[in-house]
Structure 1
């Protein structure tokens, strides 16, 4: 089995995963505003000959039959991203905003954005502080970057609140950040929202591999595309027949961490506690045997879709893996090697899962 699995990495279609990743990154999907990207996910799933079904809150599920059906392995990744929402319209025609997900305000200052109205109009804008110029404001450099002091300047000829309302912009409209996607010839990918669209690209690489190579997983597989992970309840519900869940989410990089932008990260413990010993050990064993670039790390300030499922009371075993991503929740960067390594590890695992 291992000898056969060792060839799977070579059969993974990196060009396809790169194409899917760019499509995902360029599709706005702040958490709660994911219907557009889910339609694209469905289109791609259907192209591969599979069906996408939905939960009530819009998560997508793809079922893949296995050799046996007495055990179901769930594999989740999330399509929702960081973003913001219009909190109020100021009298001078700018927008106050409230954030969606956890990020540093300094990470989005001066970012280009789009405002998405409820009637599907889209307007451009820029996030600035209310003291945006050192030539005008003495405290511009030291002005505190927090939600109260940030605003969106709309790229329309507006001077008043009424002008903005005439555009159809209202409180509660979504704000998406310009991802600024760049895919380099050397394999590096820099963009916002690699958390977690790099992982979704890995799932599509896995799905294409299964289809084209005629693979039959050891047990039934359910791919789960969640849409509320950034606010903590993406996989609070998962299908009842799932007995173990692999959350595929970006690996954090930095001080005291051993991963890299080319590795698949295997998380042994995060803020929700340790992940399943047998599943995690099997991931490490497979990565070593197949010479897949990997690292094992601990993330004390991190939670995943598996965390949400466990906290929701599900009686499951859970593991967490994913491509290493530098500068998470800021201007992120990874390498396509990490996306491929993640897909390769998942492929190996579904053919030879851990035993309790």
Structure 2
């Protein structure tokens, strides 16, 4: 298993280093396509910008569609203010409380990238007498580019404009077993379901003998419609590999794989959830079954789009979702082994 773990961590770090806020994902999908081609597969890019990879296997009339998203949370410039600082609009469910104090990159349409910091407006404690009582929203925080700016015209001269993407530094840190990442991006998804999965199936002879499996890396999950398209003919089941929630009222821990029975959109297919539980028990895995109160997935988006499929959701245990996220290597192991047991 150490070989698997090393490979997972190698590609996890590579994926996390690529900025991919919703709407700006070409870099990360190009990386996926390159890696899959190197392994001998034939990945395809969808019109929407996602990546499809057919892993093969039997029973093409009852294929399992494995979905994971590689888009992350981030922001977009909504206004260049009179003082040259940048007002933001969030991409996905990004929270201004977690954005404050973070380093970021402003990606211009011309391809130039400028560094900056997201701060509370009037952020000096020695000046702002209402620092503590100010609610953090995207009306009260702003981005300060590192360039010398003091007027609205300065950032415009640099090529910065409304609509530019703002990507936040994930601050990925690996402490022996635990992996920290901030801010929030569905970055944890990248550790749940990335090229290592395909490679391990291929290189380690973990072949999908009984099930035809197709991978779909989506790029609009954070805004709700990532899984709402591109499902090929013959797919009868959609399994979303996302994050497992860790928090009050839930069983899942960071070192476990979570099986979701219900989220904010309703229950997942009873038979799929039951089969996932049986597969986890059969493989003697450390797992939890939970109900997520504030959650939606690519699999759920597929049903809302009208696809006639069964659906399920699993994920690596992640604490502080959309904040300074914290995961455990054992959680990734358990998620991988659950997929192996379930699909094999």
TM bucket by the smaller chain? over 0.9
Deviation at 1:206, TM superposition (A): 2.3
- Conserved 8 A contact 1:189-1:333: yes
Structure-1 separation of matches of 2:153 and 2:86: 12
Secondary structure of the equivalent of 1:233? coil
Where structure 1 has 5 or more consecutive residues not aligned to the other structure, the ranges are: 1-9, 352-356
For each residue in 1:259-295, what CA deviation from the matched residue of structure 2 results, as whole angstroms up to 9, or x when unmatched? Answer: 0110011000001110011111111111112111110
| CA RMSD after TM alignment | 1.4
Equivalent in the alignment of 2:174: 183
Structure-2 separation of matches of 1:67 and 1:264: 26
Equivalent in the alignment of 1:224: 216
Instruction: Determine whether 1:53 maps to 2:51.
Output: no
Please point out which of 58, 68, 73 is paired with 2:59.
Answer: 68
Secondary structure of the equivalent of 2:212? strand
Secondary structure of the equivalent of 1:44? helix
- Conserved 8 A contact 1:76-1:247: yes
Equivalent in the alignment of 2:317: 324
For each residue in 1:306-338, what CA deviation from the matched residue of structure 2 results, as whole angstroms up to 9, or x when unmatched? Answer: 111111111000000010000000010101111
Q: 5 Å matches for 1:89-238? A: 89-185=80-176, 187-192=177-182, 196-203=186-193, 204-214=195-205, 215-238=207-230
- Conserved 8 A contact 1:31-1:227: yes
1:343–1:280: structure 2 CA closer, same or farther, 3 Å change rule? Answer: same
Please point out which of 235, 254, 259 is paired with 2:252.
Answer: 259
Structure-2 separation of matches of 1:283 and 1:113: 39
Equivalent in the alignment of 2:303: 310
Structure-2 separation of matches of 1:196 and 1:343: 18
Equivalent in the alignment of 1:7: none
Where structure 2 has 5 or more consecutive residues not aligned to the other structure, the ranges are: none
Equivalent in the alignment of 1:5: none
Structure-2 separation of matches of 1:119 and 1:142: 39
Q: Which moved more, 1:239-248 or 1:73-82?
A: 239-248
Q: How many residues align?
A: 341
- Conserved 8 A contact 1:25-1:193: no
Structure-1 separation of matches of 2:167 and 2:310: 34
For each residue in 1:19-74, what CA deviation from the matched residue of structure 2 results, as whole angstroms up to 9, or x when unmatched? Answer: 11111111111011000111111111122221210111101000011122221100
Instruction: Determine whether 1:240 maps to 2:235.
Output: no
Structure-1 separation of matches of 2:248 and 2:180: 20
Structure-1 separation of matches of 2:304 and 2:229: 10
For each residue in 1:213-272, what CA deviation from the matched residue of structure 2 results, as whole angstroms up to 9, or x when unmatched? Answer: 331331211100000000000011132322100000001110000001100110000011
1:92–1:194: structure 2 CA closer, same or farther, 3 Å change rule? Answer: closer
Equivalent in the alignment of 1:268: 261
Equivalent in the alignment of 1:4: none
Instruction: Determine whether 1:293 maps to 2:286.
Output: yes
- Conserved 8 A contact 2:75-2:91: yes
Equivalent in the alignment of 1:342: 335
Q: 5 Å matches for 1:22-41? A: 22-41=13-32
Deviation at 1:201, TM superposition (A): 3.3
Deviation at 1:195, TM superposition (A): 5.3
Secondary structure of the equivalent of 1:206? helix
- Conserved 8 A contact 2:186-2:222: no
Deviation at 1:12, TM superposition (A): 6.4
